Amino acid sequence: MPNEITNATLDLEGIAVLAASIGDEQIELVVESRHDAGCCPSCGRPSLEPKERPETLIRDLPISGRPTVLLWRKRRWRCTSCSRSFTESHP
């Protein structure tokens, strides 16, 4: 099920659906950002390396009348310039 139709249904720019699980109680979608890392919010330099991918559970609007949750595999980055780390966000 994770394909362009599912991505279009969510209408979240820059987010890709990796997997979908449809149960009797709810729909669970595993999602990930498609954006590049950008720059460090502390020092502004683009020297970032991936650190880990914590998962965040987000309740979303229902799809076809079923409650829907997004399991967002966020990226945590470490800046190689200032050594600070941060987790990506999405509007």
CA 10 to chain centre: 12
Is pLDDT at 1 greater than 50 in this prediction? no
What is the pLDDT confidence band of residue 9, given thresholds at 50, 70 and 90? Answer: low
Over residues 57-90, the pLDDT tens digits come to 999 888 888 899 999 999 999 999 999 998 888 7
Each domain of the chain, given as residue ranges in start order, spans 4-87
Pairwise CA distance, residues 48 & 5, whole Å: 32
Contact of 7 with 85, CB cutoff 8 Å: no
